[in-house]
Structures are given as C-alpha cells and as structure tokens.
Amino acid sequence: MALRVLWVLEASGGGAGRHVADLAPLLLREGVEVHLAYSPLRLAEPLRSALPALARAGVRLFPLPMRRAPHPSDLGALLRLLAYARKAGPFALVHGHSAKGGALARFLGPLLRVPVIYTPHAPITLSPFLLPWERWLYGLAERTLARFTRLAVAVSPWEREELLRLGYPEERVALIPNGVDPSLYPQGAREAARRSLGLEGEFAVGFVGRLDLQKRPLLALEAFAHFLEGGGEGVLLFMGEGPLREEVEAVVRRRGLGRGVCFVPGKDTRFLMPALDGLLLTSAYEGMPYVLLEAFAAGVPVVSAPTPGLGEWLGGEGLALVAEAPTPEALAAALLQAQQDPHRRASLRARGRAWTEERNLERMFRETLSLYRSLPARSALAP
C-alpha cells in the first residue's frame, strides 16, 4: 500500500509554495500519494503556475480557503479538512507547511490519530516587527502546538535554534535545508536571460522577492542610490510584486532614479536570475530563502544585509558579501566591493555552486522521504 500523506498549506506563494511544488513530484516518483490542501486566497507564484502540472503528475489537490491571521473561519476550514481526510484517507501522516497550515494540521492530526509534521518556513517569532505582546502570544501558541507535533522540520540551522527556543524538544526537531536542482540553469542561460531583459554591458543588480515589509525593498532601493552616489555604475531590477510597489515607485521618482531602476513583469522570474551580476538580499528575517539558492545555482554573487541567523551563516560559509549593518550605506559599500573586485565575485560564484551541488533538491527529497518512512519507528516520540 502506498504511503498516503496530506499536506496543508495556507501560504501558497513564495518559498513555501516552491517547496511543495518541487518536492511533491519527487515523492510521487517513489510511490508516495500526496494530497495537497492549499488556500486560493493568497495563491501566488510559483505555486499558481505549478498546480496544473502537479495535478497531471498525480497530486490530489484540495482548494480550501484559509486566512493568514487567526479567524473564526478556521473552525470551518478544520471541519472541511476533517471531512476530506476521512473521505480520501486513511493517511499515514499530516504535514503542515507555514504557520496557519501547521496550526490546522496539528489540530487535525489528533482527530485522525495520525502523526503530524510541521515545517514553519521561517517562524513568525523571527520577525523583528512584532510587538512584545504579539511575540509572547505567538510564542505561547507555538509552545502549545508543539505538544501535538511529532516532528518539526527546520529548513535552516537558525530556524532550528528558534524552534528549540520555542520549546520543541531536540529529538523532535529535524534539520532538512531547502535545496534546488543544480541543473536549473544550463549553459547559455545567462546570455538568454540578459537578451530577454535588453541588458548589454550594464552591471545588473537584482532585488528578487515580494515587495513587502519582511523583504525591505525600500532598504534595497536606498542602498542602490548610495551605491550610485559612491561611484558605482549599473541598474537595479525589481523582480516581484507586493503591497510596497507604489511606495517604491514613489521613492524612485523622488530620488530621480528612473533610468537606473526597472520593474520586471512576469509570472515566474527565477529563469531571469542568471542575467544578474549581483543579488541584493535585504530581508529582515528568513528561513532558507529559495531566491538565495537560485542565485547560487545561477552563479550570481550575493550581497546581503546582516539578517539574523542568515547573515552570520552566509559570512561564516563565505557564500556572500555581508554588510556590516542593515543600513543603506553599509549595503552600498558591500555592493561597491562586489562590483570592483572580480576575484571576489568569482570566489562567491564557485562557493555558491559547490554548496548547491552538495545541498540539492534530490538530497532534500531523500531526507524528507526517509523522515516519512521512519515515523512508525519513532512512535515513542509521540506526545
């Protein structure tokens, strides 16, 4: 009998969406029957484009409206999940992705009497924007739900440390870093991507991701402005959409940066990654961002803010130029160093590619499959 698993995902765009879109076909290949309950309310790329292919491959899709924040409708979503699980099951396990998906999964698992796995994809408690009472409340929720979690899966070492801080026992936290296919960008991908963007000899810096508070696109824009003022030359490409788009455009106009800043339209911009000469990563907090792994695979040097956890790791592994402070001036200085030092850029490209070869998508899949298959042997860990 095939191993049948039910995934619950509310954050249907960004890294969590890419994670399930990449992982599901590989699990199907090994005989795992994957059912995906996803929310259409925040459905975005790349999962939106991947859904037809996932359905053709054999993933059982269950669209289920779920709100991001706690809401009375969560009870209705749980009841619909329970009805679906009883009709389509039995399931060997329930795997919740992201905060809301993880919460619903951990209520559902005990009702079905099956183990629950939870992958937070950057716990909200990593956010520096939380008010003290919000941090306390979210922390209390995680500590409570930890009792109903057979295993929590961290996608980065600093995410693992946060889960341990939140009260998850060490033996119930697994570390499986995100991975991408190192063959994602074949030979000639850079030339093709630059032609499609109309780039010739320009030094192209990219901000790739949602234009929202977490990703701090305004910090990236100010850093690029200081980079130009300090003697740097090039263009800044924004690849992504989000609620801060109008504010970013207003700053571009106010700073007179129109000729040096472009907004790249398109559904899935990851195949434009090789066109870049540098990726500017300014996030306030992250788990293990896919945009970073795609830059490694594409041979694009990374300039990063000292994002907690991520910045220390990047600097320690020699995988990026990490600014000394999360300020426009410090980021501009790092960007200037990247432009002026071709040997450093070459070193970053080599180290990034090597890391992607080692921690690739196939390894992420194999470790996840091994985790799924090990659950019966780990029954003593059930709360």
Q: Residue 376 — very low, low, confident or very high, per pLDDT cuts 50/70/90?
A: low
DSSP reduced 3-state for 177: coil
- Position 368 scores a pLDDT of 98
- Position 380 scores a pLDDT of 35
**Mean pLDDT value of segment 194-199:** 93
In the predicted model, what is the mean pLDDT of the chain?
94
* C-alpha dist (Å) from residue 59 to 25, 33, 116, 242: 8, 7, 19, 29
What whole-number distance in Å separates Cα of residue 174 and Cα of residue 153? 5
For 264, the enclosing helix (H) or strand (E) is none
State yes or no: cis peptide before 243, omega within 30 of 0. Answer: no
Q: Residue 383 — very low, low, confident or very high, per pLDDT cuts 50/70/90?
A: very low
Distance of CA 68 to the CA centre of its chain: 16
Closest CA to 124 of 104, 147, 140, 109: 140
**Mean pLDDT value of segment 352-380:** 87
Radius of gyration of the chain (CA): 21
Per residue in 177-189, pLDDT tens? Answer: 999 999 999 999 9
Task: With a cut of 90, say whether residue 70 has pLDDT above it.
Answer: no
- Sign (positive/negative) of CA torsion 35, 74, 216, 167? negative
* Token output for 374: 């090990």
DSSP reduced 3-state for 166: coil
* Type of residue found at 336: L
Q: DSSP states of 82-98 as a string?
A: HHHHHHH---SEEEEES
Strands 235-239 and 261-263 come out as parallel
- Position 1 scores a pLDDT of 61
Task: Render the burial of 239-254: b for 16+ CB within 10 Å, e for the rest.
Answer: bbbbebbeebbebbee
Domains and CATH numbers, the chain: 4-179+360-381 (3.40.50.2000), 189-358 (3.40.50.2000)
How many residues are there in the chain? 383
